Structures are given as C-alpha cells and as structure tokens.
Amino acid sequence: MIEICSIASGSNGNCYYIGNETDAVVIDCGIYFRSLLTRAEHAGIDVKKIRAVLISHEHSDHVRGVKTMAKRLNLPVYFMPKTYEKTYKRHRPDYYKALSTEEPVEIFGFYVHTFKKYHDASDPVSFRVEYQGVNVGVMTDIGVADVTLCREFSKCQAVFLESNYDEEMLKNGPYPQYLKDRVASNVGHLSNSQAFALVRDFSNENLKHIIFSHISQENNTSEKVLEKFSSFKDKYSMYIAPRFNPSEKLFI
Ligand SMILES: [Zn+2]
Ligand SMILES: [Zn+2]
C-alpha cells in the first residue's frame, strides 16, 4: 500500500509526497524547508522517510526550498540536466542526479518514469511513480495534454492533476493580456476543460483518486473545478489540493 499527499500546491509552491511504510519520494520542493516541516508534521508525514526529491522544472514554485531540504535531510535531487543548469547558474550543489526520459530511475522500490511536457521552462517533465503495480501521476504545469501525457495518465490509479484555470474567469479576470495569453498557451497551464477531457477520454478503469492541483487563485475556484467534474463524483474520489496546507493523506 502506498500513501500520497499534496504538501503544497499552486503558484505559491508545489510539493507532492508518495510513500510507503518505510520510504518515500517527493516531487518538487517549491516551499521553504521550515514550512515543509510544519506541513509534513500537520499531515502526519515523517520526513525521515524521504529518500529523494525529483524536480519537474526550474520555476521557483517548484524549486524554492530544495537546496535547504537536500542539505538538511541529506537527499539526492534528480533533475533533467538542463533544468539543473537553469536552476543553479553558479555554485552548483553536488546533490544532483540526472533524470532521463529514456528509462525510469529506481529509488527504494519506487520506479519513477519521467516524460516531457509542454511548459515554458528549459526541459520540463511530468512523472509517473510506480510502486508494486500502483501508479501515481504528478502532472502539473502543462500547456497541452499531448499523446505522451494521455498515455501516461491512462496508467494511473491516482493522479495529482493540474486544473489550473476556468476559461471564462481567465478571460474576464485581472491578468494583463500577455499573462492571459501565456497561461492559456500550449506552454502554459491546463484548464478545467482540458483536465476534464483528459479524465473523460483517457482514465483507466482502476483510476481511483484525482487530486486537483496547481489551481489558480485568480482564475479558478475549488467550486468551479468540482462542478466541472461533478459527473464523475460517483466514479472517483476527488480532492482539491490546498494552496497553504497539506491535503489529507490518501491510500492506494
Ligand atoms: Zn508551477
Ligand atoms: Zn511552471
């Protein structure tokens, strides 16, 4: 059995936890280490179980706390090579391990599959973490649901899935036009409708949990997301990953 938890989600910081009884991996650390500790304690997560951090891309809401976290917990951090270079232009830390989209990395029995995504960063990736036949997707910061994402999503029993914005709210919202265009572009974020189409067309019969993630504060609401997905409410257990708190822990 594995447990998953969103420790932080959204433009203030992202951090997603996937663990078993003894070991765990974390995707991204976009919050400060002290806040990670507080939230982990709040969620009932023992940070000593964490064996590695894997980074999806270099935007600060995904890497802000990783340096301190790696140092304090003595962890390896996995990056795509270009992401590592972009994250640390100088004084590159030595905890780096290279990710590849060619083959999964194995970390204490967790097989982490890495695949490219469309987003405005140097070499952004999403992940599918496989542990004893259970697959958990971490799929946020995606401009478009391409063939690879659809294929990887269709293997998941649980997924942290971006549902960033409601189209109408973005259109009529406070962002300047260039930012609206960026969010809605193929290298921006996944809208509620795009996430909905992905779930409708590509979920497999074993999909159990959907944790809606990276929800915009200005261009979306939890209610809008849950309303969009209301036709699935008897089929999946669905949650909203909170921005400033950990989600509840889910078991698969
Ligand atoms: Zn982000
Ligand atoms: Zn990003």
Give the number of the ligand closest to the Cα of residue 58: 2
34 CA to centre of ligand 1 in angstroms: 20
Of 199, 205, 165, which Cα lies nearest the Cα of 182?
A: 165
Residues 149-196 have pLDDT tens digits of 999 999 999 999 999 999 999 999 999 999 999 999 999 999 999 999
Residues 47-72 have pLDDT tens digits of 999 999 999 999 999 999 999 999 99
96 CA to centre of ligand 2 in angstroms: 20
Element holding 171 (H helix, E strand): helix 167-172
Residues 84-109 have pLDDT tens digits of 999 999 889 999 999 999 999 999 99
Give mean pLDDT, residues 214-226. Answer: 98
What integer pLDDT is reported at residue 75 of this predicted model?
97
Mean pLDDT (the chain) is 97
141 CA to centre of ligand 1 in angstroms: 5
Residue 14 Cα distances to 148, 164, 227, angstroms = 22, 13, 24
Q: List, in order of start, the domains of the chain with CATH numbers.
A: 3-244 (3.60.15.10)
